[in-house]
Structure 1
Amino acid sequence: MTRTRRLAGALAALLLFAACSPTFNWRTVRADGAPVQALMPCKPDRAEREVPLGGLNATLHMLSCDTGGLTFAVAWLDAGDAARAALALDAWRRATLVAVHADPALADDPAAQWPAAVPGTDRALGLQAGGRDPRGEPVTVRALHAAQGGRLVHAAIYGRAIDPELASTFFDGLRLP
């Protein structure tokens, strides 16, 4: 009987703990040196790598996390000046589509765009498209690309189905101080 009670108590504690850990645990995140502040639904990992983008070689910095069957990512880079930033921003939008095996021409299709705004930016563009993930499974990407002078920011959600309310919370949480 004592062992049964302990097991039942442990099971109850486990269920209580699971009920207290929400899938989307929103937090404000700003990595050291980042020109962007984001509202992320999970604790992000940080990575960086060199990328060619629109004739520019730059260091891409990224925060990303996975929760609720979705991947949330915020990335940024310094293009140097506004003229190079404009070219790199357009290239980044196309690269976002290529990453999900979608037609890069969708970057210019009004049907794939959504109204985007980020406080502190000169330009913000929304993009949504369907494609395939690396395993060949269907995926939707909802992304925002923004520029402030020579700095570029990309925020995106990847998943089978993206809840509009979650997307609003994520994208509305972006700031370029």
Structure 2
Amino acid sequence: MSLFPAGRAPCRCPSWVAILPLVVLALSACSPTFNWRELRPQGTPLQALMPCKPEHASRSVPLAGAATDMHLHSCDTGGLSFAIAWVELGDAARVDAALAEWPRASLASLRVAPDVVDSPAARWDVRLAGASVARGLAAQGTDPQGQSVQMRAAYFVRGTQVFQAAIYGPTVPAEVSTTFFEALQLP
């Protein structure tokens, strides 16, 4: 007995129709939580990946002895906050002071003692080609609502530009951290 009625041949569908259900299944398995996209902040050589569409803001902050325009690209996804910020100091003599102050200010925002920045346990190794200096800092603190928050941040320099790339959240998954920080480039 034939599976096809008399006089009817099996469908000769294009090959893409046969694999369409597999494609739909594969796409439904993808998580839209981390939709990585390239970021190239204007005015810098930095290339980065952000896991969501970042918003941009600028404001003046006191840094290294003077009011300084800080530029920030940030977004939130998967219970985490991602940020890439940078300043143009215009004077190489201010770079060391900025590298000392910025991580301490980040720790203060988490209600963590600023001297944690000097603890070997809070440091992690950052490798960033094109940066004259790169430092990693990890800390556990509390957010403004009193909730526990982890920070993993990198501070790096190219010329008179100082950068911060950071992830904040209840926990920072290793695979997300690796993707975010290893994508940083200063070509």
TM-score range, shorter chain: 0.7 to 0.9
- The answer to whether the 8 A contact 1:56-1:79 is kept is no
Residue 145 of structure 2 is matched in structure 1 by: 135
Q: 1:92 to 1:175 in 2, by over 3 A?
A: same
* SS of 1:105 mapped into structure 2: helix
CA distance in structure 2 between the aligned counterparts of 1:35 and 1:76, rounded to whole angstroms: 11
In the alignment, structure 1 residue 59 sits paired with structure 2 residue 73: no
Question: 5+ unaligned residues in a row in structure 2: which ranges?
Answer: 1-26
Q: 1:56 to 1:153 in 2, by over 3 A?
A: same
Residue 82 of structure 1 is matched in structure 2 by: 92
Letter in 2 for 1:133: D
Give the one of 104, 118, 122 matched to 1:108.
Answer: 118
In the alignment, structure 1 residue 28 sits paired with structure 2 residue 38: yes
- The answer to whether the 8 A contact 1:51-1:60 is kept is yes
Q: CA deviation at 1:55?
A: 1.2
- Matched residues, number: 162
Residue 70 of structure 1 is matched in structure 2 by: 80
Q: CA deviation at 1:117?
A: 1.6
Q: CA deviation at 1:86?
A: 1.1
Residue 185 of structure 2 is matched in structure 1 by: 175
CA distance in structure 1 between the aligned counterparts of 2:186 and 2:109, rounded to whole angstroms: 25
RMSD of aligned C-alpha atoms?
A: 1.7
Residue 156 of structure 1 is matched in structure 2 by: 166
CA distance in structure 2 between the aligned counterparts of 1:21 and 1:111, rounded to whole angstroms: 33
- Higher Cα Rg: structure 1 or 2? 2
User: How big is each residue's C-alpha offset from its partner over 1:89-109, in whole Å with a ceiling of 9 and x where there is no partner?
Assistant: 110011110111111101111
CA distance in structure 2 between the aligned counterparts of 1:158 and 1:21, rounded to whole angstroms: 20
Q: CA deviation at 1:21?
A: 5.6
CA distance in structure 1 between the aligned counterparts of 2:135 and 2:42, rounded to whole angstroms: 25
